[in-house]
Structure 1
Amino acid sequence: MRRLVFLMPLIVIVALVGTLAWPILEGRDPRQLPSVLLDKPIPAFELPGLMSGGPGLASAVFTGPDRLGKPALLNVFASWCAPCRLEIPRLAGLAAEGVAVYGLAYKDDPAATLGFLEQLGNPYHRIGVDRDGRVAIDFGVYGVPETYVIDAEGRIRHRHVGEITDQVARETLVPLLESLTR
């Protein structure tokens, strides 16, 4: 009986570690969070812009009669997010190559967002301010940064969780955007 009392915590710990480690040992990437919105139209939304009275961001940009007609990126970011700061140059590079990059400022103060963009540069064609995070919830945002590839018809084709690195841009985003442009 004493032996069982001694072994029970050890058995529980081993079982817990095994359960938590199983997805990693199986080869699954914990950064890959599937989205139920893949291949579905983006959620309807309308957000104010950074400047009072300035242009905001709405789902109509991607789905309405005046839609882009080409694939675009929707980047969810915040001024307080360290990885968001690191990915700004890559987003600027994609924008310079003709990719339509839109921003969704997540749970951020507009003044802080403006300071962030003044310091690092603004790669976004338009920015919507989602102060309470409701639009981000509709997208299923897990955290920032997150980036969505939206096709010419306004459907979400890819979700990237985390910073856009050179490798992610080169191996995932650019090929996908090119395939959606054909």
Structure 2
Amino acid sequence: MTPTSLKRLLYALPLILFVGVLAVLAYYNFHKKAQYEPRAMVGKSVPTVVLDDVQGGPSSDLKSLLAGHSKPVLVNVFASWCVPCQAENPQLMALKAKGVTIIGVAWKDKPQDTLNFLAQHDNPYVKTLSDPNGDMALDLGISGVPETFIVAPDGTITDKITGPIVPDTLDSVLKEVQ
């Protein structure tokens, strides 16, 4: 190899490395898996797991709580330690102000932490159930918090919202429950 050809190779090396990095990034971009959002429970009845009320009311299951409603109800799975849940709370309060019934399920949370969260961030729920071991959430097929289920009065899950309800999705959620 002559000194001139070695110089050319050194000048071309950054370009070769750049093209190589782009090729790797392009490969991973086109071969990545879609976000996993389990929706297996949509169209099925809510689980009949009996949970305690964090405010000391009687223990109950979701189907019993839904029986007295004529419109769909939101079932919001949340946790006091969940930052997106805190960000979602103003949208839940707005839905509550428009007459939407929301039942909260505190996932893997201590009841006192849940009560502190609700006192600090306002309480959008007509009833807040405690799911400290995650049994109900497991039966619902959640992948994390927050997740919200739209449930018909007969207990059938009609839709699932993965992640927080944000201002951009507030109107579409409101349409589904009215």
Answer whether TM exceeds 0.5 for this pair: yes
Whether 2:111 is the aligned partner of 1:145: answer: no
SS at match of 1:94: helix
Whether 2:58 is the aligned partner of 1:55: answer: yes
SS at match of 1:75: strand
CA contact (8 A) 1:146 1:161 kept: yes
Counting only pairs closer than 5 Å after superposition, residues 97-116 of structure 1 correspond to structure 2 as 97-116=98-117
Are the structure 2 counterparts of residues 162 and 77 from structure 1 closer, same or farther at C-alpha, using a change threshold of 3 Å? Answer: same
Displacement over 4 Å in runs of 4+: 10-17
How far 1:34 sits from its partner (Å)?
A: 4.1
Structure 2 distance, partners of 1:163, 1:56, is: 27
Which residue number in structure 1 is paired with residue 90 of structure 2? 89
Whether 2:45 is the aligned partner of 1:41: answer: yes
Q: Deviations over 1:44-99 (max 9, x none)?
A: 121001134x234412112xxx4323210000000000010111111111111111
| TM-score using structure 1 length | 0.78
Question: Which segments of 5 or more consecutive residues in structure 1 lack a partner in the other structure?
Answer: 1-9, 24-29
Structure 2 distance, partners of 1:91, 1:72, is: 12
Identity of aligned residues (%): 34
How far 1:37 sits from its partner (Å)?
A: 1.2
Q: 1:19 aligns with which of 8, 26, 31?
A: 31
SS at match of 1:46: coil
Structure 1 distance, partners of 2:176, 2:140, is: 20
Are the structure 2 counterparts of residues 93 and 12 from structure 1 closer, same or farther at C-alpha, using a change threshold of 3 Å? Answer: closer
Question: Which segments of 5 or more consecutive residues in structure 2 lack a partner in the other structure?
Answer: 1-20
Which residue number in structure 2 is paired with residue 175 of structure 1? 175
Instruction: Report the aligned-residue RMSD.
Output: 2.2
Structure 2 distance, partners of 1:167, 1:151, is: 23
